[in-house]
A and B are shown apart, each in its own frame.
Chain A
């Protein structure tokens, strides 16, 4: 069971890492507009050169 001395700090480190990633993702604006990306295909410029 001494493995817990390794596993517990490791799990805390991983949680901290995931937390930091979430922080970065949110504050870089990844979740600001979830709709626009889906609609962007409709806004696509598909004019052919005439």
Chain B
């Protein structure tokens, strides 16, 4: 609030000319600070996300006849249904192609990066499971018989991008909060200025490394497990092998795991930047962050360990696996949200603006 009140001191001398442009200035400076590139990146992320959701909802409608087929009655209705399914599959394919090519583009880039650096990342199992679901679906569409997973693919991409978008936003807020700290520090005599950048980095780096290591190990184990279980199903019941493999691969996506550390740290920095915690409060906040990050990390891991056997038994359909992935990510986000107190921040901002108005009127 400090920079605002200092500029309001200026505006008080020329109220007519300065009050209005000030709002514009305010948003302009933030826009400049965030940078055009980041804005562009965020917009592109949002469009990718929105299009994936749009396609997902439509493809889910197209997928309905396919689910009804198991309960179809006589031969006549089955024929009509199969014809409808054939058409719907083509429509679904039309919508899934842009999702795979445009919405999922960051995932393919991530796979290429993982390939060139020889380091396994979250994008690898995601890419593999997308292909594992997409290629047989395309073949089934051309052939006119067999299972298609277009709904699972679009759901998977939409949910994954949602989790990533939130993560990306959190880290942007993060960066914004840090910048605001330095702006605030100019006028606020708190220890924050000296403390914030250096200590948060030294606090968050080991936590991030730990989280990354857990996630990498996890991905490797899950890929191996999925391959083994798929092979076992192939021997016992070949028709079920592919859906089980797709479900396992979808579930192997460590989205919740990869969210665990970044969102907690973003919430922490937001708190540090906008509130002005005393040393004790700060220590308590760090301890809570550590605890919540661990909860997120191990909670997500436990969720995977619990749901994997169900998928291995063939009880989890691919779309259910995608839903499970979204739910665990949301749980992680909500848990981290406990650290962050948006209400207080929003209020203090509003109060700051009100004070400034009163100051102007006085």
Contact = CB atoms under 8 A, between A and B. Distances in A.
What band does the interface of chain B fall in when counting residues whose beta carbon is under 8 Å from A?
35 or more
A12 B95 contact: yes
Contacts of A43: 19-20, 22-23, 353
B84 interface: yes
B46 A26 contact: yes
Chain B, interface SS category = helix
Interface residues of A, number: 24
A44 B59 CA distance: 46
A22 B50 contact: yes
Contacts, number: 69
A23 B83 CA distance: 34
Contact of A42 (B30, B31, B357, B361): B357
B47 A8 contact: no
Interface in B62-113: 80, 83-84, 87-88, 91, 94-95
A15 B57 CA distance: 10
A39 B80 contact: no
B16 interface: yes
B54 interface: yes
B353 A42 contact: yes
Interface in A8-25: 8, 11-12, 15, 18-19, 22-23
A15 B39 contact: no
Interface of A: 1, 4-5, 8, 11-12, 15, 18-19, 22-23, 26-27, 29, 31-33, 36, 39-40, 42-43, 45, 47
Instruction: List the 5 shortest-distance A-B pairs measured between CB atoms, nearest first.
Output: A43-B23, A42-B353, A45-B19, A22-B50, A26-B47
Interface of B: 15-16, 19-20, 22-23, 27, 30-31, 39, 42-43, 46-47, 50-51, 54-55, 58, 61, 80, 83-84, 87-88, 91, 94-95, 349-350, 353-354, 357, 360-361
